[in-house]
Amino acid sequence: MVLIGINEFIYVASILFLIGLLGVLLRRNTIVIFMSIELMLNAINLALVAFSRFNNSMDGSIFVFFIMTVAAAEVALGLAIIVMLYRQRQTILVNELKQLNG
Amino acid sequence: MDNQIMDLLFNLLGILFLPFFCSLIIVFSGQIRNTVAPFFSLLSGLGSLFLTFLLIKEFSEPIRFSWDWIALGVHKFYIGFFIDSVGLTMLAMIAIVAFAITIFSIAYMSKDDSKGRFFAGLSFFLFSMIGIIFADNLIMIFLFWELVGFSSYLLIGHYFRRDDAKDASQKAFIVNRVGDYGFLIGIILTYWHFGTTNLEALAILIGADVSLISSGIGFFLICGFIGKSAQFPLHVWLPDAMAGPTPVSALIHAATMVAAGIYLLIRVQFMLSFEVMSFISYLGTFVALFAGFCAFAQSDIKRVLAYSTLSQLGYMSAIFGLGFPGIALFHLITHAFFKALLFLGAGSVIHACHHEQCIFKMGGLLKRMPITSLTFIIGTLALCGVYGLSGFYSKDAILIGAHDANNLVFYGLVFAALLTSGYMGRLIWIVFFGSPNSQAAKNAKEVNIIMYLPLVVLSFFAIFVGFTNLWPAQLGATILFDLDYLHHLVNYKVLHNKVLILGSGAWILGLTMAFLFYGRGTKFDQLEKQLPHIYSLLKRRLWVDELYAVYLDKVQKPIAESFSFLDEMVLRGFIVRGCAGLIGIIGASLRLLQVGRLDNYVIWFFIGLIAFWLYGLNMF
């Protein structure tokens, strides 16, 4: 029987976080980048829940609830922004959105 | 009683501010400025004259008013009026001379296209000059002292399109700055030592303890006098100042502003030690002689008169230095009238000869301009000290006083009197007698009544102002005091006869010699022809101007240039520009990072995050 300890949770969370980070770095589609950000958030959530469980304390779990709430609000806003962006520019690819170039 | 004081105050304020508001109105009357300027000036002159007479009538004892001005911590400065008989005498002279000159200017400047500027400047000058007369402390005197310097600068530079006028105005301003710098140091030292600059308070302090008098402070204070009264070595600006309009020369550079230096001396006399007084006396004698010699080498009618003014200012300071401030004031007043008359006469001649100023191109003007010529000759005779005219009385008193006090000064001044009549004789014989030497002089006609009326009025004063017993009783207490002292000398009769013989001998000899040497209406300068070396020596004016030029060029300019280098290259070029350049380069390179691509920013963000992480691990 394989014992699942805190390390395994942290490995999974780190892998999820790196996948999310690479997604943000490499993908061009705003929606995918957005999803990657959500993935990173959930990696953090996972880590927090694991720590919470490991420490026999509810603090981390409570924090996760807040993060999920905020993430939901953020998704609503972010998607709205992306929709508006598409209406304005007819594109949501970040390599075509270079107006802020100094 | 209160009412009376208020009336007095309003009277004083009226005299002071009437010219000021006049110049203000002229400046702000826009397009019609040139038309209204003479009218307002005349009105203000008339008002000043009236108020001055009113003041003289009401005057019985010194008038004092004082107000708080600035408080800097424990240092309090006051502004106030102090008028005694000295100030009142000056005021009366200024009001009369200024009014005559204003009337003259109306005709003289009638064709000028910037009359507004001229009359506004003239009125502003009067305001500043009266401010000096009224001031009760040294700081207020200094304030108005600078204002007269400024208005003199404005008026000398009236014809600013001409290079000589432009240069002369700057020269006058800068040379005066040198003297005023010393004066300012003197005032600061006075305040430091005595804790006040109020003239009366100082007089009381020093009266209580004579050992408080310091030669150092005295020497600094008289720097102002040396600059403003154009005494050696700061005399260089006055002859050049003749580039201004002639009425300006008459008012500022003959009658009033240059005399302000003497007035200052009289005001601060109690602060001057014996050494300073002797210095002033010898300086004055030297200037009287030096300027007398220089006048012989001038061919510009106004410059001859300018040197004559210098020489007469030398007289005043010589007698002042010997301890007779009253007589200095007396000569100041008589000189103001006849010198203003001479300048206006010169102005009238210049006007008639179509702005010809060279005396060798005039000649024979007596027949063509009889009134101008006669008044000019009256002025000359008064200047030479002919018996019965005003100049005689003051010069007589000066010579008696000098004889009483110092033989060297006495003989110097007698010789200066000879020089005076010599160069004035040269002027008179060449300009008014003989036959005309140019077309302009041939066509010269007598000027109109507006121009010769002031001449007649001033020549009336030039004749009679010497009779001090005709003066209102309120005026000239100081003068009478000194004259009285002379009259009660034990050997007064002998002295008087000696001075009368020497003085009269001097002018008779001077005028005759000038006649014999120069002849009537000559075309060429005899001195230049016969004694070219002496002539060129005098023409160069002892190389003082050249000396200054060399000093400025060889000493001041390199210093200024090194500072300029420091400023331009090190401060501006290196430090200021350097900082700006550095920031600019940093900005430009940072701008390269601003690519506007989201993924790049994320990479930077990630690198930053790693940097923070490493920093947190104490990796750097």
Which H helix or E strand runs over B605?
A: helix B598-616
Q: What is the arithmetic mean of pLDDT over B250-254?
A: 85
For residue range B171-217, list pLDDT tens digits in order: 889 888 888 999 999 999 888 888 888 888 888 888 888 777 788 88
For residue range B213-239, list pLDDT tens digits in order: 788 888 888 888 888 888 888 888 888
Contact list in A for residue B595 (CB cut-off 8 A) is 98, 101-102
ipTM metric: 0.76
Q: Do B598 and A101 touch (CB under 8 A)?
A: no
Q: Are strands B63-72 and B75-83 parallel, antiparallel or unpaired?
A: antiparallel
Q: Determine, yes or no, domain membership for A102.
A: no
Q: Determine, yes or no, domain membership for B65.
A: no
Q: What is the distance between the alpha carbons of residues B457 and B436, in angstroms, rounded to a whole number? A: 28
**Which of B547, B544, B353 has its CA nearest to residue B443?**
B353
Q: Determine, yes or no, domain membership for B278.
A: no
Q: How far is A63 from chain B (nearest CA, A)?
A: 23
Q: Determine, yes or no, domain membership for A101.
A: no
CA distances (Å), B398 to each of B228, B328, B475, in order?
A: 22, 8, 19
Q: Determine, yes or no, domain membership for B127.
A: no
Number of C-beta neighbours around residue A26 at 10 A: 12
Which of A48 and B448 is assigned the larger pLDDT? A48
Q: What is the arithmetic mean of pLDDT over B515-543?
A: 71
CA angle B522, B525, B527 (to 5 degrees): 130
Q: Which CATH number covers residue A67?
A: 1.10.287.3510
Question: Are B469 and B340 in a shared domain?
Answer: yes
Q: How far is A78 from chain B (nearest CA, A)?
A: 15
User: What are residue B72's DSSP bridge partners?
Assistant: B75
Boundaries of domain holding A13: 7-95
Question: Are B605 and B574 in a shared domain?
Answer: yes
> How many domains does one find in chain A?
1
- The residue with tokens 């000028």 is B112
The 8-class DSSP code of residue B75 comes to E
Q: Determine, yes or no, domain membership for A100.
A: no
Q: What is the arithmetic mean of pLDDT over B91-99?
A: 89
Q: Determine, yes or no, domain membership for B5.
A: no
pTM: 0.77
Question: Are B370 and B511 in a shared domain?
Answer: yes
Q: How far is A40 from chain B (nearest CA, A)?
A: 13
Residues in chain A: 102
Q: Determine, yes or no, domain membership for B130.
A: no
Query: pLDDT at position B461, please?
Result: 86
**Which of B43, B24, B44 has its CA nearest to residue B116?**
B24
Contact list in A for residue B604 (CB cut-off 8 A) is none
Average pLDDT, chain B: 84
> How many domains does one find in chain B?
2
For residue range A17-35, list pLDDT tens digits in order: 999 988 888 888 889 999 9
Statement: residue B262 has pLDDT above 80:
yes
Q: Do A25 and B606 touch (CB under 8 A)?
A: yes
Q: Determine, yes or no, domain membership for B309.
A: no
Boundaries of domain holding B601: 546-616
Query: pLDDT at position B541, please?
Result: 67
Question: Are B577 and B528 in a shared domain?
Answer: no
CA angle A40, A44, A47 (to 5 degrees): 140
Residues 29-58 of A with CB under 8 A from B: 33
**Residue B408 banded pLDDT, cuts 50, 70, 90:** confident
Q: What are phi and psi of B487, to 5 degrees?
A: -65, -25
